[in-house]
A and B are shown apart, each in its own frame.
Chain A
Amino acid sequence: MLSIRSISLTDFGPFKGEQRIDFPADPGVSIIYGENMRGKTTLLNAIRYALFGKVMTRGATQVALHQIGNWETAKDHGKYGFKVVLEFENEGLKYELTREHRPRAGVTIPQTDIDYQQDCFLRKDGQVLGPDQRDSELARIMPETVSRFFLFDGELLQQYEELLRNESDMGRNIKEAIERILGVPVLTNGRTDLGELFKDAQKREAKAAQKNQKTQALGNQHEALLKQRDGLQEDTDRLKSDLATLRSSKASKEEELRKTERTKALLDERARLQDEIAKAENRLNEKQERRQELLTDVWKGLLNSRIRATREGLEQDLQKDSDTYQRALVSADINEKLRKALEDGQCSSCGQDLSATAKGRITALVSETLSNDARTHLEAKIQELKSRIAALKQSEATSNADVLQEVQDAIDELIVQKAAAEDRLSEVKDQTKDLDETELRKLYSDFERTVIDMGILQDGIKKQDEALKAINENISKVEAEMAKFADADLDTERTRKDLCEKLRSLFASAVDAYRERLRGRVEKDATALFVQLTSEPEYKALSINDSYGLTIVHQDGSVIPVRSAGAEHIVALSLMGALQQNAPLRGPIVMDSPFGRLDHVHTTKVVQALPSMANQVMLLVYDSELDPKQARNQLQGKLQKEYRIARRTARHSELEPIA
C-alpha cells in the first residue's frame, strides 16, 4: 500500500524556493488549510506531477508545464524551472521519486514547453532504477488510470453520476478505472494472454503432427484450419473494434443530440409556425376577397326596408285603382242602357215611358260615371303601378349582412391566430438565430447513419462468429483424430495445449465470478459508508449497477432517481471509500476542497468517516469549509498533521506547520 512520507517542492507554483511537508507513518488524517488562490490545488498537482509528469486544471485539462515555475524566482533571480520530490513507502520498501523541469542548455528565458527538459529519478531502497524499470514500477504502484480515486478534486465528483448512464464515454472510462483498481484486469488480461497461448499451442501441435508421416496430412489440415481461423478472428476483432468505436461515437452523438433536443424542438416549432402562418395568410386572403365581393352588393340590403315600404304603398294604390276601374267597367254597361233609355224616353227593361223625375235622376246618374278618357287614364295608371311594383320587387335583395358578419368574424379570428403565431415565431427565431442548422441536421443524419452502420457490423459479427464456431468444430475434429496417434512430441504439445485451454477457461470464468463478488462487496461497503455519511434517515442503502454506478434506495424500496449535487458528493465519497476497502491497489486519498457542496452536518459526518476510508488521508481545505477546531475535535488522535499555506505575496506562498 502506497503511503506518502513527504513532499518537497522547489519553485513549484506559488511555493517559492524549497518547501517541504512531512507526513507520519501512522494512519490518520493530515489537513492543509489555505485560502483560495494560495496553492491548495497546486499541492495536489505536485503529487500528480511527481507521479505522472502532468499538471491539471480544475476542469481536468492539462496545463502547459512552462507555466508552472515560480514567477518571482524567475523575475527576481532569473531562475527558471521547478522540482518535486516525493518520498513514499510501498509494500515495506522506501522510494524517493524526483521529477524536475529545467531549461534546456542554451535557453536563458524559456517560453514554451519545448524550452524545458524533464528529468525523473526513482530510488527504490536507495538504488536508482533505470528508466524502463522506473516507469514499470511507478505504473505498478500507482497507475495513472486509477489516480482519480486517490487524487481528487471535490469539484469533479459529479463525474461519478456518469456511471449511471451506460455507454457514455466518461462512464466507460470511470468503469474501466474502477475495475483496474479492483484488479479485474488481472483476470481479463490473463484470459487474453492464455487465449493467445492456447492458439500458439495449437500451432505447435500442428507443427509436431506435420513432422510425423502418420499425422502429416492431419497436421497440414490442422495448420490450414488454424490459419483460416486466425484470419477469421482478425476480421472479427476488427469488426468488433469498429463496432466499439461506433458505439462510443453513438454515445457521444446521443449526448450531443440530448443537448440539441431543445434546439431541434425549436427548429421544428419554427417550421411549423412558418407553415401555420403561410396557411393563415392564404385563408385570410381568401376571406378578405370574399368579404370584398360581399361588400360590392351590401348597399342593396340597406334599401330593402325603404323598397318594401314603397312597394306596399304602391300595392295599396293599385288595389284602390283596380277597384275603381272594376266599378267603372260595371257602371259603363249600365250607363249605356240608361243613356239609351233617356234617348228613347223609355225604360229598356220594362218599356214604360220615363217620367220627368225619372229622366232627371237618370241624367244625374249618367253624369257621375267615368268618362272613357278617365277610364283609359286609370288603365294606364294601373299598368304603371304594376310595373313599378314589379321593378321594386326585383330590387329587393336578400340582405347579406349575416354572411358578411360571419366572414368578418372568421377574418378577426385568423388575424388573432396569425398574430399569436407570428409573436411566437419571433421568439423562436430569436432563440435560434445563432444556430447552425446544417450542423444540426448533419448531427441527426450522422446519428442515424451510425445506428445503421452498427446494425450492419452486428450482423457481420454474428456471421463471423458462426463461421468461427464452425471452423473451431472442424479444428476440434482434426485434433481428436490426431489424438488417436501416439507420438512423444505431439503428446507434449497436446499437454501444453490442454493446460493453456484450461487455464484460459479458468481465468475467463473467474472474470464474471470476481466481478459479481466485487460488486456485492462494493455495494455493501458503499452502503455502510453512505448510511454513516447521510443525514437522511429514510435513505436505507445504495444499489450498484454493472458499471459501478450507485443509486440511492429509499427505505420503501424505491430508488431515488434524481439527486442534488450534495447527495452526489456523498455517494461519490461512499464509492471512493468502498473502492479503497476492496482494491488490491491502495494508497492515500488526497482531497482538494471536498466539502464545498456539503452543509455543516454532512461535513461533520464525512470528517468522522475519513479515517475509515483510507489509511492516509490528506485534506486541502479553506477555513470556512472546515473549521480547524471542529476538525481537531472530531478527529482527535487520528489527526496527524496540520499545515497552513500562508501568503507572502500574490505569487509567493509558504507552507507553515500548525503546532
Chain B
Amino acid sequence: MTPENELLDTIEELRKQKFPDVPAELVEQIATIERNFTENRPEAYKRIVQAIDTHLAVQASGKKAGG
C-alpha cells in the first residue's frame, strides 16, 4: 500500500465501520482537498464547503427526482 493510500484506507475503514451512510467519494474528496491545500487553509475550507454543498444539492435533487 502506498502512503497516500494508507491514509485514505484508514479513513475508509473507519467510515465503513462507524459511518457507512457517509458517502465514500465525499470523504475522499475532502481528504484530497486537505492534502492539496495543507499550506492554504482558507482555500481548503472554501473548497470543502463547496464539496459538501454540491453533495447535498445532488442528494436533494436525487430525492426530488426519485419522488
Residues of A within 8 A of B7 (CB): 183, 186-187, 514, 584
B60 near A: Cβ within 8 Å? yes
Q: How far is the CA of A140 from the CA of B34 in the complex (A)?
A: 11
The B interface is mostly helix, strand or loop, or mixed, namely helix
Chain A residues contacting B18 (CB-CB under 8 Å) are 505-506, 509
A493 smallest CB distance to B (angstroms): 10
Complex Cα–Cα for A190 and B31 (A): 7
Residue B54 is within 8 A (CB to CB) of chain A in the complex: no
Residues of B within 8 A of A185 (CB): 34, 38
* Other-chain residue from A499, A513, A582 in contact with B10 (beta carbon distance below 8 A): A513
> Among residues 31 to 67 in chain B, which have CB atoms less than 8 Å away from a CB atom of chain A?
31, 34-41, 43-45, 48-49, 52, 55-56, 59-60
Known: A140-B38, A143-B38. A507 touches B56 (CB 8 A): no
Complex contact A180–B38 (CB within 8 A)? yes
A30 to B16, CA, bound (A): 45
The 10 A-B pairs with the shortest beta carbon distances in the complex, nearest first, are A139-B39, A186-B34, A584-B3, A584-B4, A514-B10, A510-B11, A502-B19, A190-B34, A186-B35, A502-B22
Task: List the count of A-B residue pairs having beta carbons below 8 Å apart.
Answer: 107
Q: Which B residues are within 8 Å of any A CB, using their own CB?
A: 2-4, 6-7, 10-11, 13-15, 18-19, 21-22, 26-27, 30-31, 34-41, 43-45, 48-49, 52, 55-56, 59-60
A245 on interface, CB distance cutoff 8 Å: no
Say yes or no: is A266 at the interface (Cβ < 8 Å to chain B).
no
A contacts, CB < 8 Å to B: 136, 139-140, 143, 180, 182-183, 185-187, 189-190, 193-194, 196-197, 492, 495-496, 499-500, 502-503, 505-507, 509-510, 513-514, 517-518, 521, 581-584, 586
Given contacts A183-B3, A502-B22, A510-B10, contact A197 B52 (CB under 8 A): yes
A residues in contact with B30, CB < 8 Å? 190, 194, 503, 507
Give complex CA distance A635, B2 in Å.
Answer: 26
Whether A503 contacts B39 in the complex (CB less than 8 A), given A183-B3, A496-B56, comes out as: no
B4: chain A residues within 8 A (beta carbon): 183, 584
Interchain CB contact under 8 A, A506 and B45: no
A282 to chain B, nearest CB (A): 70
- Check A193/B3 contact, CB under 8 A, given A496-B52, A505-B19, A513-B14: no
Residue of B nearest to A188 (CB): B34
Measured CA separation A581–B40 after assembly (Å) = 25
Known: A186-B38, A495-B56. A197 touches B3 (CB 8 A): no
State the majority secondary structure of interface residues on A: helix
Which of A139, A196, A584 lies in contact with B40, CB distance below 8 A? Answer: A139
CA A488 to CA B21, docked complex, whole Å: 21
A506 pairs with B35, CB closer than 8 A: no
Contact residues in A for B36 (Cβ distance below 8 Å): 140
From A183, A492, A510, A582, B14 is in contact (CB under 8 Å) with A510
B6 touches A582 (CB 8 A): yes
13 pairs of residues in contact across A and B, judged by CB atoms under 8 Å: A143-B38, A180-B38, A186-B38, A187-B31, A189-B38, A492-B56, A505-B18, A505-B19, A506-B15, A509-B18, A513-B14, A582-B3, A584-B6
Task: Compute how far the CA of A587 lies from the CA of B44 in the bound complex, rounded to whole angstroms.
Answer: 23
Bound-complex Cα distance A183 to B19 (A): 22
Q: Is the CB of A183 within 8 A of B35?
A: yes
Given the complex of chains A and B, what is the CA–CA distance between A210 and B67 in angstroms? 28
Please measure, in the bound complex, the distance between the C-alpha atom of A513 and the C-alpha atom of B9, giving whole angstroms: 11
Contact (Cβ within 8 A) A193 B44: yes
Q: Are B22 and A506 in contact (CB under 8 A)?
A: yes
CB distance from B2 to the nearest CB of A (A): 8
- Name the distance in Å between A344's Cβ and chain B's nearest Cβ: 158
Report chain B residues within 8 Å CB of A194.
30, 48
By beta carbon, the residue of chain B nearest A508 is B14
Q: How far is the CB of A586 from chain B (nearest CB, A)?
A: 8
- In the bound assembly, the distance between CA atoms of A136 and B35 in angstroms comes to 12
B27 to chain A, nearest CB (A): 7
Measured between beta carbons, the chain B residues less than 8 angstroms from A495 are 56, 59
Contacts of A502 in B (CB 8 A): 19, 21-22
Contact of A509 among B14, B38, B60 (CB under 8 A): B14
Asked if residues B60 and A492 are in contact (CB atoms below 8 Å), the reply is yes
In the bound complex, what is the Cα–Cα distance between A581 and B26 (angstroms)?
27
Q: A182-B3, A582-B6, A584-B7 are in contact. Are A499 and B41 (CB under 8 A)?
A: no
Minimum distance in angstroms from A378 CB to a CB of chain B = 132
A65 to chain B, nearest CB (A): 23
Contacting residues, chain A, for B34 (C-beta < 8 A): 185-187, 189-190, 193
B49 to chain A, nearest CB (A): 7
